[in-house]
Amino acid sequence: MEQQSKTPVYRQTWFILLAGLLVILILAGGSFALGRMTATPETITETTVETQEVTREVTRQVEVPAVADGGNGGTAVQETPTEAVQTEPAETTTEQPTAVPPAQETFTPRLEDVDDIEFDIFYEAWQVIEEDYDGDIPDNEEILYSAIEGSVKSLGDEYTRFVRPDVAARMREDAGGAVEGIGAFVRENEMGQFEIVRPIPGQPAEKAGLLPGDIIIGVDGQSVEDVSFDEVILMVRGPRGTDVTLTVLREGEEEPLEFTITRVRFEIPTVEFEMRDDGIAYIKLSEFNRTAVEKMQAGLEELLAQNPKGLVFDLRDDPGGFLDQSVAVADLFLGQGVVLH
């Protein structure tokens, strides 16, 4: 009887494993080919963050705050050049291909020297106020401005502050040299009172009887207690031909005085000068507005043509103004060299 050879069991096992491996490889290759054929551009792409430049506009404030109605405002005059405060390229990164396109990211400028600012708490706080506060809640614009003012105030620098648009418009008007108001220089004194520095000669404030040292405590029957200086100036200002009533305290008077004054449009006397009988030339500069150096130069030329024995340059009650104007005025008196650092 003829015997048949049999394949050993271990060889049968190897054949089965080899066949299974081939099936897996064939399926994997087919899946890869199918994926390549059906892939869209979005599923096999590299995401690159482009380099961006960021600049911001800043407002530079110059000199001390102390405004006058009639143009010499209690706030220092400002200029608003556009400066490249920081130009910083974003890092260029490449992500690995992915089957899901990444979400579009919005580039946001970094805040320098401020770590881990969390604005969520701000919104959460206002959400609680809106839900639980029984009084009137300011509108979004007021909330925004107040938040900016508080942030800037935290710097502790009296020469750095946020100026609201309506106040900035008034300051730009002052810088032009002509305004509509009562014609008086006003300041916020050391006690936080709104004091008449001096009425402008020939203007409504002087004609109505206001005097230097008068303290404004009310405008049109409204108390100015807890009102900011800029707001008081805006209350006193107004269109020509309209009336405003000021309530003032005057030294030596037991009761407050009231003055109703009709507003006019007038030129701010940036420069006043005269040749005195003793041969001394006198020139006063009210503020460093946009016409300061031009009017100073004209006044000095007229005075110096009279060969004065000396000259008095009066800067009392000058609240400051544009930096370039102050440097240009200084150049009228100084020789070569550095004017300021």
Domain boundaries, the chain: 179-267, 271-331
Q: How far apart are CA 327 and CA 315, in angstroms?
A: 14
Residue 26 has pLDDT above 90, yes or no: no
The two tokens of residue 321 are: 């103004």
Beta bridge partners of 321: 288
How does pLDDT run across 76-123, given as a tens digit for each residue? 433 333 333 343 444 444 444 444 444 444 445 455 555 566 778 888
Show Cβ contacts of residue 202 under 8 Å, excluding neighbours closer than 6 positions. 183
d(CA 293, CA 159): 23
| Backbone conformation region of residue 299, classed left if phi is above 0, alpha if psi is from -120 to 50, else beta | alpha
pTM over 0.75: no
What does CATH list as the number for 179-267? 2.30.42.10
C-alpha angle 233/234/240, rounded to 5°? 105
Task: Tell me: pLDDT of 271 over 90.
Answer: yes
Give the model's pLDDT for residue 160.
82
Q: What are the tokens at 41?
A: 């551009």
**Do residues 197 and 228 lie in contact, with contact meaning Cβ atoms separated by under 8 Å?**
no
Give backbone dihedrals phi and psi of 208, rounded to 5 degrees, phi first: -75, -20
Q: In the predicted model, is pLDDT for residue 18 greater than 60? A: no
| Residues 108, 116 contacting (CB under 8 angstroms) | no
Is 90 exceeded by the pLDDT of residue 314? yes
In this prediction, residue 115 carries a pLDDT of: 57
pLDDT score of 217: 97
Residue 67 and residue 287: Cα distance in Å, rounded? 10
103 vs 221, higher pLDDT: 221
What is the arithmetic mean of pLDDT over 210-224?
96
pLDDT at residue 229 in the model: 87
Q: What is the pLDDT of residue 93?
A: 43
Nearest-angstrom CA–CA distance, 315 and 63? 13
DSSP class of residue 104 equals P
